[in-house]
């Protein structure tokens, strides 16, 4: 009788995601890091971090918001994924990342349904003014909108509004799953994760960067596809980097838990399945980017934009390794290596 080979020396047949993660961390990071490198910090990182913290304080955000801001490192994140963007693009991107961090912690963690934000957010983005007495998140959102318009991006606002409202819709579903409703199937979860990674929102704002398909121009379908693939990859990387933290905080929803449910397998095996899924989507994403860049019938700015979008995934991976939020930087974590950009060109 054939015996199934063990995937790990001592497999943990348990639903304890956090407990299974710790002994698997070196193996997981090694395999997740194959075929990719990590990146050095942007020279304006410290200035961005200080500016975001001052901005939050000037807006009168709560002590809880300010504490989250101090440890979230949004400036480091945007400096990694948009290294060639000017300050008037970097700072709005950093504000956006901080807004998403606040939504993910303060608002998602509250007992009040995230859905109550939908109409106030819509009103704020359409009018440019936050309603009096509205939720705290509206003040930074109005400030971000002002920055986008001042940078020549008024025509980005309708699409940005649609994307953010879709994000909030998915967060409403996430609250329900965390409150005890049955977890989604894998296909549903992947669609959900593509939207909740928040990356398409950042890629939308990055259109302010000179040389890309800018505000007022139609974004070609292949670039939209590349954005969605990149967003899903960032979400899956994040799931594998942060699932132990979420599990320790009592969160039910994670890629690992969904795979366990979908296939009826233990946690240890689910990590291997998640790595395989990640590798397959990375292969697809690279193929999409390469096909756009090789298509000489496309304008140069479209091909440059494809490089900029493709560039996001590994820099966000770098931030995940380094952020204190996930506690991954340790002697068994990967070292930092500079990596050339797609096709050996100048990058984004």
Q: What is the pLDDT of residues 101-121, one digit of tens each?
A: 999 989 887 888 899 999 999
Q: What is the pLDDT of residues 133-147, one digit of tens each?
A: 889 999 999 999 999
Q: What is the pLDDT of residues 144-171, one digit of tens each?
A: 999 999 999 999 999 999 999 999 999 9
C-alpha gyration radius of the chain:
20
Cα(169)–Cα(189) distance, integer angstroms: 14
Nearest to 65 by CA among 53, 75, 82, 77: 53
Is a pLDDT exceeding 50 seen at residue 123? yes
Is a pLDDT exceeding 70 seen at residue 255? yes
Q: Which helix (H) or strand (E) holds 215?
A: none
282-289's contacts with Cβ under 8 Å and 24+ in sequence apart are 282/35, 282/233, 282/313, 284/229, 285/226, 285/229, 285/230, 285/233, 285/310, 285/313, 286/310, 288/222, 288/225, 288/226, 288/229, 289/226, 289/342
Nearest to 213 by CA among 101, 309, 283: 309
Q: What is the pLDDT of residues 289-327, one digit of tens each?
A: 999 999 999 999 999 999 999 999 999 999 999 999 899
Is a pLDDT exceeding 60 seen at residue 343? no
32-41, 140-149, 214-223, 337-346: least confidently modelled range: 337-346
Nearest to 334 by CA among 76, 36, 80: 36
pLDDT at 129: 93
Is a pLDDT exceeding 50 seen at residue 338? no
| Average pLDDT score over residue span 206-228 | 96
Is a pLDDT exceeding 50 seen at residue 9? no
Q: In whole numbers, what is the pLDDT of the chain averaged over residues? A: 89
Nearest to 34 by CA among 317, 289, 320: 317
pTM score > 0.95 for this model?
Answer: no
Is a pLDDT exceeding 90 seen at residue 4? no
| Confidence bin at 330 (pLDDT 50/70/90) | low
Distances 136 to 59, 238, 307 between C-alpha atoms, Å? 9, 26, 36
């Amino acid at each position: 009788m054939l015996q199934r080979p063990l995937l790990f020396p001592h497999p943990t047949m348990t639903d304890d995601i956090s407990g299974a993660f710790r002994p698997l961390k070196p193996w997981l990071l090694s395999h997740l890091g194959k075929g990719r490198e990590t990146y050095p910090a942007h020279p304006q990182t410290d200035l961005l971090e200080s500016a975001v913290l001052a901005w939050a304080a000037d807006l009168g955000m709560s002590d809880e918001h300010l504490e989250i801001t101090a440890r979230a490192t949004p400036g480091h994140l945007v400096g990694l994924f948009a290294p060639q963007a000017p300050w008037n693009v970097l700072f709005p991107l950093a504000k956006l990342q901080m807004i998403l961090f606040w939504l993910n912690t303060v608002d998602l963690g509250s007992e009040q349904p995230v859905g109550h934000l939908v109409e106030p957010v819509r009103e704020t983005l359409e009018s440019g003014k936050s309603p009096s007495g509205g939720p705290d998140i509206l003040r930074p959102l109005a400030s971000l909108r002002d920055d986008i318009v001042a940078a020549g991006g008024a025509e980005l606002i309708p699409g940005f509004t649609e994307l953010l409202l879709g994000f909030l819709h998915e967060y409403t579903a996430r609250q329900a799953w965390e409150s005890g409703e049955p977890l989604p199937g894998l296909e549903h979860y992947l669609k959900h994760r593509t939207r909740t990674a928040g990356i398409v929102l950042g890629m939308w704002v990055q259109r302010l960067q000179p040389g890309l398909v800018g505000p007022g121009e139609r974004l070609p379908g292949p670039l939209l596809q590349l954005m969605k693939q990149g967003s899903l990859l960032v979400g899956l990387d994040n799931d594998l980097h942060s699932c132990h933290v979420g599990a320790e905080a009592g969160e039910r929803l994670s890629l690992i838990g969904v795979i366990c449910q979908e296939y009826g397998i233990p946690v240890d095996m689910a990590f291997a399945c998640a790595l395989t899924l990640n590798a397959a989507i990375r292969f697809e994403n690279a193929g999409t980017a390469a096909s756009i860049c090789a298509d000489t019938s496309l304008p140069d700015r479209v091909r440059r934009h494809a490089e900029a979008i493709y560039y996001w995934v590994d820099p966000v991976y770098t931030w995940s390794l380094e952020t204190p939020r996930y506690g991954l930087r340790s002697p068994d974590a990967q070292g930092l290596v500079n990596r050339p950009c797609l096709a050996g060109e100048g990058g984004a």
